[in-house]
Amino acid sequence: MTQEQIKLIQKSWLYVIDKADEAGLLFYKRLFEVEPNVRSLFRENIEKQGRKLIDVLNWIVLNLQDIDTALDAAKELARRHVKYGVEVEHYPLIGHTLIWTLGKIIGKEWTKELEQTWIKAYETLAQVMIEEHKKSKSFEYLVRYLEQELSQIISDLFAANPDILGIVISTNKGATVSRCSFSNYSNIIASVVSSTIGHAKRLCELAGAGNILETKITGSQVQLYICMAGPHSAIGILYPTKSYEGMITLLLRKAAEKIKTLLLTFP
């Protein structure tokens, strides 16, 4: 886009920002009127949703001279749309609705030149958003696949030893899974596994020592055994202190190797 086109968009945007609430609401009303099926994708109050949209667009428009900043905002908007369930084929619909809304809000100052300039700007941003959308969609699919595979490892461990009370696999790849005999244990164990390994790594770095690969937290009735599964994850197994620890340790180490191998296939 040329500087003249950027200035034209920014000047016309002043009409919109003066009627921000009206513009956001008008956009979504028009969107749902043209394509009623997308209504279910937006669960928040539409007035609130409209304000969020205008806020993001405002940030993009104000930063058009700084293209990297504008594109970063567009990418964030695309990632948010993925969470809503918006698909790539919705982008032309969003573009048509945006242009229609701008025309209604700006009114008599909405010229053919201004319309074409906005269309060009949207098409440029939409292309970036679609690429980011596809990346995010692909990553979400991989995370779901990883969660399914990790859940299967947990199921196999429970089947191998009935003494196990809880298992958590914590990763820095967007997937953390857990299963416990008592539901209130689940989040606690996940937190302990993640924080224990993190603290252990920092202590090792400060001491100039090698990483701690395994650690135990022993209570009066239960014991939590934690094992690293490569540099990106850890697994913890909670079991009664009277259990046969040798079997637990063997199962845990084998599971850690499976997790490590699985994560090698993950980007």
Q: Which fold has domain 161-265?
A: Beta-Lactamase (3.30.450)
Q: Do the beta carbons of residue 94 and residue 27 sit within 8 Å?
A: no
Question: Domains of the chain: which residue ranges?
Answer: 3-140, 161-265
131-187 pLDDT, tens per residue?
888 877 777 767 777 888 889 999 999 899 988 888 888 887 777 888 887 665 666
What burial letters (b/e) apply to 158-183, b meaning 16+ CB within 10 Å?
A: eeebeebbbbbbbbebebbbbbbeee
Which pLDDT score, from 0 to 100, does residue 46 have?
85
24-69 pLDDT, tens per residue?
999 999 999 999 988 887 776 888 888 888 998 998 898 888 888 8
Domains 3-140 and 161-265 share a fold: no
Superfamily of domain 3-140: Globins (1.10.490.10)
Q: pTM higher than 0.75 for the full model?
A: no
CA-based torsion, 205, 210, 213, 215: positive or negative: negative
Q: Cα separation of 139 and 135, whole Å?
A: 6
